[in-house]
Amino acid sequence: MKRKSLLFILIGILVSSLFLAGCGNDEASSDGKVKLTFSIWGGETDKAVYEERLKLAKEKYPDIDVELIYIPSEYAQKVQTMIAGKKAPDIMQLAEDVHAYSSKNQLAPLNEYIEESGLNLKENYGEVYENYSRDGNVYALPDRGGSLIVYYNKDLFDAAGLEYPNENWTWNDLLNAAKELTVVENGEVKQWGFVGGEWWPQWMSFMYQNGGGVLDEDGNVIINSPESVEAMQFVVDTYYKYKVAPTREDLANLGDIGGDTLFAQGKLAMNYTGFWAMSTSNSVAELNWDIAPMWKNKEPGTVPFGSGLGVSSQSKHKEEAYKIIEFLTSEEGQMPIVDNKQDAPANVKVLGSDEFLTKDWAAHEINVDTFAKSTEAMIKVPYIPEWNEMQKVFEDNFADLWLNEDADVKAILDKTQEDLEALIGD
Amino acid sequence: MNTTTNSVVNNNGENPVPEKNRAIKVISKAAKKEQRWFYIFIAPWLIGFIGFTLGPMIASFVLSFTDWDLFTAPNFVGLENYITLFQDDVFWKVVYNTFFFTIISVPLSIILSLGMAYLLAQKIRGIKFFRTVFYLPVLVPVVASSMIFKWILAPDTGVINRFLSIFGVDGPAWLLDPTWVKFSFIFLAIWGVGGNMVLLLAAIQGVPEELYESAEMDGASKFRKFFHITIPIISPVIFFNLVMGLIGSLQAFTQIYILTGGGPNNSSNMIVPYLFSNAFEYYKMGYASSIAWVLFIIIMVFTLIIFKSSSIWVYYESEVKK
């Protein structure tokens, strides 16, 4: 009997200690100040820039304390755990998973605060803010921006006597240049003209440029439309028909590197990716590179990148949290992003500002206005609540496209259409 | 408590009945004290077990009957998750892949580690050096060895396919080929057999020398000595390696997450990575919990089979066979 009672006491202590640990005390705001938490991902430089921006916010709102929660790895899981534990950060950095949260009522709609403050979304952020909206509700303000842009090696273009890429290029110009720029010696490719399009923003941009896409405006799946199929066929042909792009196998042979590294090595004439490849390109001093807006086909089209700032529906201080994110995404609040060369800011006024355009982004002069020029071509990315599952559908179905020379593009996109319809339908 | 009392009584007394009562009184004080210490000493483990294993297990069992998405309140859905699971093609594919991987890699690891341990138990010069070399891969973190394997298994420039090309064999694009990608993970598992090997080596070295000597006098060959003395004596260690290897393989995760992410088209995806995706990427906690329970049952069944079979092939010196 004694043994049992001791065991019960132990379990009792354990359970009560778990409960006590579970319900930590709420931060007391005895000094009249509001305390907010703000979760971010990224590297040490990113953290430093956010800190600098929060210092500016503090000057404007001395009564709001914002504590930065820096999550360098496994961001999604940690934020999910915080939300599930009812300890959600008041302000969250968000990207593709924005509507995974918004659809589960974890983000506060910002409409009323926006109306109150008279913030003009379109004027400040361009069309890109729509990516963070769903069913008429705005769930985040765009904070960091940029989009898919073209990186090209000027020396390789000069050597081939070709004109540099620009926003008026069509797929034909792209393909012709890629062919000229692919150099084969003894049956081995020494230099690739084009990077291909395995990564989702890449093939997706081609679909939208061709008037196709993944979802139409009403949310119907259109990935097996003739326009989408034609676009995908073009991408696949750069690998196997024209052989101007390195296949996954070629890249594995080169040590499993990606297009950004291949470009920095000077073995790739044209890459298209986001802002971050500037630092990879800068890491090689002799690389003579520049950037340009994306090419087009039936219409222009590029995929916006970056992240937004949203307010948790659990927050007890939504109004204050909104004030902070409105400031952080304003011209003043965005400037440290430029000063520290961290990223392309989402605020289009900053993107077109002298500070941004005259910044020494590279050792040589580059076409920085590419970012501002790209804003008009930005597509609305299908950031559906089931985004991660949709990516898995792409990955599984497209494996054959990238690995198998004889893959039937139409059949694969038909199957993808079916899988996506099932995913969105249920 | 009862066992102690009984054994004391049985050892001492011819007449157990009156002595038993007395014995309880005398023993119980000391035993009580000992008991208290027992619970104090195991308390850290017990708290950890209840808080971090038993609690979550019960929670996941309950959640497996709900549609919990991590954030909104769970709804009870009965057996729906389990029914969906059995109709889920990807689930069956990952189960097949996990079994394929386990059924080949576990026996192969044991045979190889046994062979290596036997060789490394020989008395030759520099044997310590070889023991170190073969154990070394175990010290390399899975993340690092996975990255190394990316290079070793590269389609044309990798070490394995370069070696094969000497013999005119055009090796496959290991990690990119739906068939061969499974074998890539088996390679990776074999690369880490050093852990098993060390245990088996210790066991082989613990086999009493006199058994070999007497067998030699009877004219036993090396072959017979190995199969009729070494193997039976070290069979508990083989048994241990088998059980642990099986559980580890059925739960393979890190190497898949790093090397292929389960691709191409799920051909290297296994149960735990699939569970992880459902839980943390697709927000299907309820479904992931049901996968966890099916995996738990699979592991239980396999482990039970091995435990039941152990009476046939595992030999304990202290045990009397009937």
Helix (H) or strand (E) holding A268: strand A268-273
* pLDDT tens, residue by residue, A241-258: 999 999 998 998 888 888
A1 pLDDT tier (thresholds 50, 70, 90) = very low
Cβ–Cβ contacts within 10 Å for residue B144, how many?
11
Query: What 3-state class would DSSP assign to A65?
Result: strand
Give the separation between CA A196 and CA A236, rounded to whole angstroms: 8
Which residues 249-278 of chain A have a CB within 8 Å of chain B? 249, 252-256
Q: Parallel, antiparallel, or unpaired: how do β-strands A183-185 and A307-311 relate?
A: unpaired
Helix (H) or strand (E) holding B304: helix B285-313
All residues of chain B having their beta carbon less than 8 Å from the beta carbon of residue A252 are 150, 154-155, 173, 175-176
Report percent pLDDT > 90 for chain A.
83
Q: Which amino acid is at B143?
A: V
**CATH class name, domain B80-313:** mainly alpha
Smallest CA-to-CA distance from B194 within B135, B111, B119 is with B135
Query: What 3-state class would DSSP assign to A264?
Result: helix
Give the separation between CA A58 and CA A56, rounded to whole angstroms: 5
Smallest CA-to-CA distance from A300 within A364, A361, A379 is with A379
Give the separation between CA B294 and CA A351, rounded to whole angstroms: 53
Peptide bond into B155 cis (omega under 30): no
- How distant is the Cα of B62 from the closest Cα of chain A, in angstroms? 17
Give the separation between CA A403 and CA A196, rounded to whole angstroms: 13
Could you tell me the two tokens for B181?
Answer: 């990608």
∠ at Cα B94 (B93, B97), nearest 5°? 90
Backbone angles phi, psi at B131, to 5 degrees: -60, -40
Question: Mean per-residue pLDDT for A410-421?
Answer: 96
Chain-chain contact of B264 with A403 (C-beta, under 8 angstroms): yes
Domain boundaries, chain B: 2-63, 80-313
The chain B residues in contact with chain A (CB within 8 A) are: 1, 32, 35-36, 39, 43, 46-47, 50-51, 55, 69-72, 150-151, 154-158, 173, 175-177, 261, 263-266, 277, 280-283
* pLDDT tens, residue by residue, A246-296: 999 899 888 888 899 999 999 999 999 999 999 889 989 899 999 999 999
**At residue A37, does pLDDT exceed 90?**
yes
pLDDT of residue A25: 44
pLDDT of residue A60: 94
Query: What 3-state class would DSSP assign to A109?
Result: coil
Q: A101 with A308: CB under 8 angstroms?
A: no
Radius of gyration of chain B from its Cα atoms, rounded to whole angstroms: 26
Checking phi first, is residue B283 left (phi over 0); if not, alpha (psi -120 to 50) or beta? left
Smallest CA-to-CA distance from A268 within A184, A187, A181 is with A181
Smallest CA-to-CA distance from A93 within A25, A33, A155, A46 is with A46
Could you tell me the two tokens for A373?
Answer: 């020029």
Cβ–Cβ contacts within 10 Å for residue A97, how many?
19
pLDDT of residue B146: 85
Chain-chain contact of B46 with A10 (C-beta, under 8 angstroms): yes
∠ at Cα A197 (A397, A292), nearest 5°? 155
Give the separation between CA B150 and CA B183, rounded to whole angstroms: 13
Answering whether pTM is above 0.80, one says yes
Give the separation between CA B134 and CA A383, rounded to whole angstroms: 49
Q: A299 with A211: CB under 8 angstroms?
A: yes
- How distant is the Cα of B209 from the closest Cα of chain A, in angstroms? 46
Give just the sign of the alpha carbon dihedral B309, B310, B311, B315. positive
Smallest CA-to-CA distance from B267 within B198, B184, B164 is with B184
Give the separation between CA A112 and CA A103, rounded to whole angstroms: 19
Could you tell me the CA-to-CA distances from A419 to A276, A387, A412, B193 in Å, in that order? 33, 13, 11, 41
DSSP A296: B
Could you tell me the CA-to-CA distances from A316 to A26, A88, A319, A328, B198 in Å, in that order? 11, 11, 9, 20, 57
* pLDDT tens, residue by residue, A344-363: 999 999 999 999 999 999 98
Domain boundaries, chain A: 34-145+305-351, 149-303+380-425
pLDDT of residue B287: 96
Residue with tokens 């005119």: B168
All residues of chain B having their beta carbon less than 8 Å from the beta carbon of residue A80 are 70-71, 280, 283
**At residue A319, does pLDDT exceed 80?**
yes
Q: A226 with A210: CB under 8 angstroms?
A: no
pLDDT of residue B103: 96
∠ at Cα A90 (B68, A334), nearest 5°? 125
**Consecutive sets of 10 residues in chain B, 322 residues long: mean pLDDT of each?**
42 48 63 89 93 94 94 92 94 96 96 94 89 90 87 89 90 90 93 91 92 90 90 93 95 92 92 94 94 96 94 79 52
Chain-chain contact of A395 with B263 (C-beta, under 8 angstroms): yes
**At residue A6, does pLDDT exceed 50?**
yes
Question: Alpha carbon A267 to chain centroid distance?
Answer: 26
Give the separation between CA A177 and CA A161, rounded to whole angstroms: 10
Backbone angles phi, psi at B278, to 5 degrees: -65, -40
For A403, which of B1, B176, B261 is closest by C-beta distance? B176
- Mind giving me the DSSP string for A132-158? GEETTEE-EEEEE--B-EEEEEHHHHH
**CB distance from A107 to chain B under 8 Å?**
no
**At residue A209, does pLDDT exceed 60?**
yes
Question: Mean per-residue pLDDT for A193-197?
Answer: 95
Chain-chain contact of A386 with B281 (C-beta, under 8 angstroms): no
**CB distance from A18 to chain B under 8 Å?**
yes
One fold for A34-145+305-351 and A149-303+380-425: yes
All residues of chain A having their beta carbon less than 8 Å from the beta carbon of residue B55 are 18
A425 pLDDT tier (thresholds 50, 70, 90) = confident
Query: What 3-state class would DSSP assign to A198?
Result: coil
- CATH value of A34-145+305-351 in 1.10.3720.10, 3.40.190.10, 3.90.180.10, 3.30.950.10: 3.40.190.10
pLDDT of residue A69: 96
pLDDT of residue B99: 97
Question: Which carries the bigger pLDDT value, residue B17 or residue A129?
Answer: A129
Give the separation between CA A196 and CA A232, rounded to whole angstroms: 11
Q: A330 with A345: CB under 8 angstroms?
A: no
pLDDT of residue B318: 72
Could you tell me the CA-to-CA distances from B47 to A2, A16, A107, A368 in Å, in that order? 19, 12, 36, 59
Order of strands across the sheet with A34-40?
A64-70, A34-40, A91-94, A307-311, A140-144
Checking phi first, is residue A126 left (phi over 0); if not, alpha (psi -120 to 50) or beta? left
CA-nearest residue to B279 within chain A is A77
Lowest-confidence segment of A39-43, A127-131, A148-152, A200-204 by average pLDDT: A127-131
- Mean per-residue pLDDT of chain A: 91
The CATH H-level superfamily of A149-303+380-425 is Periplasmic binding protein-like II (3.40.190.10)
Buried b / exposed e along B223-255 (16+ C-beta atoms within 10 A): eebeeebbbbbbbbbbbbbbbebbebbbebeeb
Residue B194, CA atoms < 13 Å, CB-side half-sphere: 14
**At residue A113, does pLDDT exceed 60?**
yes
pLDDT of residue B240: 94
Checking phi first, is residue A342 left (phi over 0); if not, alpha (psi -120 to 50) or beta? alpha
All residues of chain B having their beta carbon less than 8 Å from the beta carbon of residue A6 are 35-36, 39
All residues of chain A having their beta carbon less than 8 Å from the beta carbon of residue B31 are none
All residues of chain B having their beta carbon less than 8 Å from the beta carbon of residue A77 are 280
All residues of chain B having their beta carbon less than 8 Å from the beta carbon of residue A253 are 154-158
Q: A49 with A337: CB under 8 angstroms?
A: yes
Chain-chain contact of A104 with B46 (C-beta, under 8 angstroms): no
For B50, which of A2, A11, A84 is closest by C-beta distance? A11
